[in-house]
């Protein structure tokens, strides 16, 4: 792992890729063994989607917990297969060139590259490998029992306001100077994370973060998603 006294934290959803937890959950739900199972799982995702959109601005941790509930009882092997397919067929084509440019600039400036994602480890690990020279990442992990997903996420759940606490703990463990580090974020619940890091930039921000960025004089970057 690269050694550095500063880091560039990237919120994957919005800054690096144009797909989020609901897209991932829907793809996995469509991979059920039969029509009835697939229909049931996709129905759960459809019911969850509007709640996710609402909670995503206030309690993204709970939103992410709800997003992955439809994956309950999918086998670990099947999830691994679907994760590989999702990355190759969907996510790889949704990587944003603007995000790659930001990462290149951060590397040139000597920052350690750290990804923060609502996604599942089975998908974010191949994304990390594909992006290359990513030093570290944090994402969500499904709970498995007897080889099958329970639909629950292991703690700590990534995505909510606690991300700022995670960043401070990470900086302490790794010797990172947050005051000289940078964060690129896209969602309202990322505000505390942005406040914890010396340089913050709102990337393709949602309405809540765009308004907060203007009030806080954080730069705003928009590029095609």
At 141 the pLDDT is 97
Closest CA to 61 of 184, 171, 154: 154
At 3 the pLDDT is 47
What whole-number distance in Å separates Cα of residue 81 and Cα of residue 204? Answer: 31
What whole-number distance in Å separates Cα of residue 103 and Cα of residue 108? Answer: 9
H or E stretch covering 28: helix 21-29
For residue 156, whether the previous peptide bond is cis, meaning omega lies within 30 degrees of 0, is yes
**Main-chain phi, psi angles of 186, to 5 degrees:** -130, -10
At 140 the pLDDT is 95
Q: Cα torsion for 209, 102, 17, 141, to the nearest 10°?
A: -90
Q: In the chain, what's the furthest Cα-to-Cα distance?
A: 53
Contact 178, 166 (CB under 8 A): no
CATH architecture of 7-221: 3-Layer(aba) Sandwich (3.40)
Q: Which residues in 203-225 are b (16+ Cβ under 10 Å) and which e?
A: bbbbebbbebbeeeebeebeeee
H or E stretch covering 136: strand 136-140
At 36 the pLDDT is 66
Please give the model's pTM, rounded to 2 decimal places: 0.90
Chain Cα centroid distance, residue 193: 13
At 51 the pLDDT is 76
At 32 the pLDDT is 67
Closest CA to 68 of 21, 138, 13, 126: 21
H or E stretch covering 66: helix 60-67
What whole-number distance in Å separates Cα of residue 144 and Cα of residue 150? Answer: 6
Low-confidence ranges of the chain (pLDDT < 70): 1-4, 32-34, 36, 225
At 2 the pLDDT is 46
202 three-class SS? strand
């Amino acid at each position: 792992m690269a050694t550095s006294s500063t880091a560039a934290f990237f919120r994957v959803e919005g800054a690096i890729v144009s797909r989020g937890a609901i897209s991932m959950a829907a793809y996995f739900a469509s991979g059920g063994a039969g029509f009835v199972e697939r229909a049931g799982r996709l129905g759960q995702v459809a019911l969850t989607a509007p709640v996710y959109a609402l909670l995503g601005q206030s309690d993204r941790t709970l939103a992410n917990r709800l997003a992955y509930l439809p994956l309950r009882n999918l086998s670990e092997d099947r999830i691994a297969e679907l994760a590989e397919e999702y990355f190759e067929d969907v996510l790889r084509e949704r990587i944003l060139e603007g995000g790659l440019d930001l990462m290149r600039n951060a590397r040139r400036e000597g920052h350690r590259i750290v990804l923060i994602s609502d996604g599942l480890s089975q998908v974010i690990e191949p994304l990390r490998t594909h992006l290359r020279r990513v030093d570290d990442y944090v994402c969500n992990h499904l709970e498995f029992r007897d080889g099958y997903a329970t639909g629950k996420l292991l703690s700590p759940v990534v995505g909510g306001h606690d991300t700022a606490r995670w960043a401070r703990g990470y900086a302490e463990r790794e010797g990172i100077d947050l005051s000289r580090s940078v964060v690129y974020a896209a969602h309202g619940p990322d505000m505390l994370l942005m406040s914890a890091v010396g340089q913050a930039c709102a990337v393709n921000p949602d309405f809540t973060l765009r308004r907060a960025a203007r009030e806080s004089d954080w730069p705003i970057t928009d590029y095609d998603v």
